[in-house]
Structure 1
Amino acid sequence: MDILTEILEQEDVLVLEEETTDLRELVVFNDDVNTFDHVINTLVQVCRHSQEQAEQCTMLIHYKGKCTVKLGSFTELQSMCTAIHDRGISADIV
């Protein structure tokens, strides 16, 4: 194995480690204020969920108290979390 191949393999491992260690969750929490339709529409618009996916997440939020609605880096999830807050829905990145 030549030195260039070894360096490229090491870079691939570093990139893979960076991607997996920075994975965060966008969690939406239940409340007694927002309607099912409002939460569903928010997940479709903000998180780009399908209608069915948004409905399923909303049911989990209602019955379990919270649901992870998106995975990604903190940077990717930050604007989505803000947009969800702007619609009056409680969410956090964990």
Structure 2
Amino acid sequence: MSTKERVLEDVKIEELLHSENVIVLFNDDVNTFDHVIETLVKVCKHEPLQAEQCALIVHYKGKCDVKSGTFHELVPMCTALLDAGLSAEIH
């Protein structure tokens, strides 16, 4: 790999790590509204009304962006959502 290629690769990685990403929460047939709302309040620091609105969007639309930030900020939150039994991904 040339130096130029290595620099371009480093720049692309840096852009990925510091660009805006979002956690997308997906609907499932397992979790209750209360569990989803409580988890969003606890993990994503949502206000209860915001968490309730996200839960309704997920239920009716199938998915909802629930948190934005850098990849590094979102990884622990997404992991906590998954650990709580929710279905989520970072995009």
Same fold (TM over 0.5): yes
For residue 3 of structure 2, what is the aligned residue in structure 1? none
Matched, 1:56 2:27: no
| Matched length | 75
> How is 1:1-94 mapped onto 2 (pairs within 5 angstroms)?
22-94=19-91
Instruction: Give TM-score, length-normalised by structure 1.
Output: 0.78
3-state DSSP class of the match of 1:59?
Answer: helix
Instruction: Map Cα deviations across residues 36-76 of structure 1 (whole Å, 9 max, x no partner).
Output: 00000000000000000000000000000000000000000
Aligned-pair identity (%): 61
CA distance in structure 2 between the partners assigned to 1:68 and 1:92 by the alignment: 10
> What is the CA deviation profile of residues 4-56 of structure 1, one whole-angstrom value per residue up to 9, with x for unaligned ones?
xxxxxxxxxxxxxx6xx600010000000000000000000000000000000
Structure 2, unaligned stretches of length 5 or more?
1-14
Normalised to the residue count of structure 2, the TM-score between the two structures is 0.80
Specify every segment of 5 or more residues in structure 1 that has no aligned partner in the other structure, as ranges: 1-17
> Which amino acid in 2 is paired with 1:68?
D
RMSD, aligned CA = 1.0
